[in-house]
Amino acid sequence: MTNSISNKLDTALAGLKKSKKTGLMTHLVLGYPSRERAIRLAAELEEGGATILELQIPFSDPIADGPTIMKACDVSLKSGTTVHTALEDIAAISRAATIPVVVMSYYNPIFAFGAEAFCQKIAAMGVTGLIVPDLPPEEEANEGFLAACNRHSLHAIRVVSPASTYQRLRLNADIASGFVYTTSRFGVTGAKADLDPRLIGYLDRLRTIFRVPIAVGFGISKPEHVRAIHGHADVVIVGSAIIDFLHPSGDNSTNRNIPAFIHSLLSR
C-alpha cells in the first residue's frame, strides 16, 4: 500500500535523515498532572529539543502502558479530563508548537466519537498522525480508520514489538505511514536501567522490512540509551522517564527543569 500523505511530520523525519541525527518523540498524558501543567509541559519539551510531541488521550484501561503512565491516566481522568477537553488541549498545544504533533489514543474513545469526525477534527488542528495501539489491521474493513486518516492527511502510525511474527511485521509494513512505532521489548511502558541486548539486532531486522522510519520506545530513559540506538532507529520515544523526572519518588513538585532534562537525553 503506497501512502501519499505528506505533512510536517514527514518534513521533520526527512530533516533527521539528512542530518544523520536521532530524533526524540516525547510523550505526555493530556490533563496530567493538570490541564494547565500539561500544556506548559508540551512547550517545555519542545524547548528542550524534542523533535515530535506525542499527546496521549487518557483512557481507563491503557493495556499497553506500564504503572507510571497508567497512574497518570488515572489522575487525569479523576481530575475531569474527557475526550472533548483533551481535544481542546490538543488544539492549544498544536497552535503553539512548531514541531509535529501526533496523538496517541486507544480506539474506544475514537470509536465513540466517530473515526471520520475524530480524524477530521484533529487534522484541522494541525495534528500530523495518530497512534492507536489496540486496532489491528484486520479491523479496517469494519472501522474504516485507515481510510479516514488518509482522507484527512493523517499518518496512521503502526505499532509493532519484538513479539510480532514476520507475517505480522509484513502486514504492518504494507500499510505503514509516517513511521513505525516499535517497542524495545516485550511488555508495557516504563523506564528501565538497561536496554534488551537483543534490541539492536531486532531494529536492524525491521530496517529490512519497513520502508518508513523507525521509532523505538518503552524503557528509553538515559542518554546512553539514545546513543546505543543511534544509527539503528530514526527516533527514540520517551514518556515514563519524563513523568518520573517530573515527580521523583512521588514528589508533587512541578518545578523541575524539563528542558534541561530533555536536552541531556540528546547529549553525545
CATH code, 173: 3.20.20.70
Fill in the DSSP letter of residue 219.
S
Whether 135 and 158 have beta carbons less than 8 Å apart is answered as no
d(CA 41, CA 224): 24
Any domain includes 127: yes
Phi, psi at 131, each rounded to 5°: -115, 115
d(CA 112, CA 141): 17
219: β partners? none
Round to the nearest angstrom and report the end-to-end CA distance of the chain.
37
Task: Give the number of other Cβ atoms within 10 Å of residue 209's Cβ.
Answer: 17
Establish whether the linkage from the previous residue to 223 is cis, with ω within 30° of 0.
no
Residue at 239 is within a domain: yes
d(CA 38, CA 89): 9
Extended beta strands in 95-251, E state: 101-104, 129-131, 155-157, 159-160, 180-183, 214-217, 235-238
For the chain, give me the number of helices (H) and strands (E)?
A: 13, 9
pLDDT at 171: 96
Q: 65, 116, 224, 251: which is the annotated catalytic residue? A: 65
Catalytic residue among 44, 46, 54, 89: 54
Number of Cβ within 10 Å of residue 245's Cβ equals 19
Any domain includes 135: yes
Could you tell me how many residues make up the chain? 268
139 is catalytic: no
- Residue 21 is given by DSSP the state P
Interhelix angle 83-96/115-124, nearest 10 degrees: 30
pLDDT tens, position by position, for the chain (268 residues)? 446 677 999 999 999 999 999 999 999 999 999 999 999 999 999 999 999 999 999 999 877 778 889 999 999 999 999 999 999 999 999 999 999 999 999 999 999 999 999 999 999 999 999 999 999 999 999 999 999 999 999 999 999 999 999 999 999 999 999 999 999 865 444 444 567 788 999 999 999 999 999 999 987 888 998 998 999 999 999 999 999 898 765 555 556 799 999 999 987 6
Note whether 55 and 102 are within 8 A (CB). yes
C-alpha cell at 121: 477534527
Q: Look at residue 111 and tell me if it is in a domain.
A: yes
- Specify if 1 maps to a domain: no
171 within domain boundaries:
yes
The pLDDT, as a whole number, for residue 5 is: 75
Residues 6+ apart with CB under 8 A from 69: 27, 29, 56, 62, 189, 190, 239, 240, 243
How many angstroms from the chain centroid is the CA of residue 32? 16
- In the residue annotation, 251 being an active-site residue is answered as no
In a domain, 93, yes or no: yes
Predicted pLDDT of residue 63: 77
Provide the number of structural domains found in the chain: 1
pTM: 0.92
Domain range for 111: 8-265
* 3 part of a folded domain: no
